[in-house]
Structure 1
């Protein structure tokens, strides 16, 4: 719901846990906090694990770490660095995903951008990639999200709160 700039019962519950003054409440809120996901159209250049994906346009879902890498190249911190829009078909940059395990967790720190280069060798190839892109606005369509009431009812079920004990489940 927060994606749609609306109230979200889980976020409200986590806020109450965080503000209850206990370390247990804060720990629980951290465990169930909102996980940011971002989506981009990508052209798979090389995929040794799944070579059938090479040359295909796919939707790539990624988290904050990769988003930060994209944001850093688009909005450089230092004056001597030029901004790059990696999504530009003519002056963009391929992103090489390098996955490592660090202390038992997946880590993308070694992922990096190639130098600026056109996405493809000809206008026809660029047109083909353009036409294969997915509509990302579909991820933001209101009908893809449960209502506040549905989410509140599910949260109450998960927490074991009876319907008589629950607060009003209508949208505030």
Structure 2
């Protein structure tokens, strides 16, 4: 290296500049999906909004995506929060473990299986008609995550129970209907029983405006894409750690808390990750 390069690379200003850059406050990374619309409760503990479910985007057959997941805390204190492979019709280690627990016939084992059971969530595109808590969301298209209760209301609209009721396709922007989302807190949980559909109506009289809104909808295939799920072996490894603090390979159990730690691809859970876990679990409980 020449003397000129030595002087150039050893500049005090350059070194101090690098130190200042490293010491800049780090922007906190957000794990929030800004595409998701989420209802909020008012001071009385109730929530209200009017939504319009949108049709499937071009190239997709259904206007919803269905995802199974598990979210529970094991006896080790660690959390298992993963999408279930049963979503894509594959074997899943938690479902297999829960089946084994249930088949013992012991009530204590059945209770564990109940706490670890799959949670079902759906994703659809919605146009926000009214959002009293966040008016800036009105007139925009979002993804909406919802559970079986709301899904059942969609089915009830499409397949009415009584003969004097006309079936409605709630995803049709021309002959569908606005959905009045009503949330009450019952025994500490969000309850959607009083939610219902308005009479059938067009989203807009102007068809060009309808087309413009529908073109803003998001593809849903990502929720069931292969990269949204870990492999069976990865999930099994995580499950073993959550349940016993051990990874099991064949007939060999390796204690991850032994004096000679085994190198693992599983990242240790930090406090921030644990906070994210709790926030996510609370959201699941509100479905």
Do Structure 1 and Structure 2 share a fold, with TM-score over 0.5?
yes
SS in 2 for 1:163: strand
Distance 2:105 2:166 in 1: 45
Residue 103 (structure 2) aligns with: 19
Answer yes or no: is 1:109 the counterpart of 2:201. Answer: no
Larger radius of gyration: 2
Root mean square deviation of aligned Cα: 1.5
Give the 3 Å change call, closer, same or farther, for CA 139–165 of structure 1 in structure 2: closer
Query: Which structure 2 residue ranges, 5 or more long, are not aligned?
Result: 1-84, 253-287
Give the 3 Å change call, closer, same or farther, for CA 43–139 of structure 1 in structure 2: same
**1:17 shift after superposition:** 1.2
**Between Structure 1 and Structure 2, which shows a larger proportion of strand residues?**
2
The one of the two structures with greater contact order (alpha-carbon pairs below 8 A, sep at least 6) is 2
77-86 vs 139-148, which moves further: 77-86
Q: 1:41 aligns with which of 125, 131, 140?
A: 125
**1:157 shift after superposition:** 0.5
SS in 2 for 1:58: strand
Q: Which runs of 4+ in 1 moved over 4 A?
A: 164-168
SS in 1 for 2:144: strand
Whether contact under 8 Å (2:240, 2:248) holds in the other structure is: no
Residue 119 (structure 1) aligns with: 203
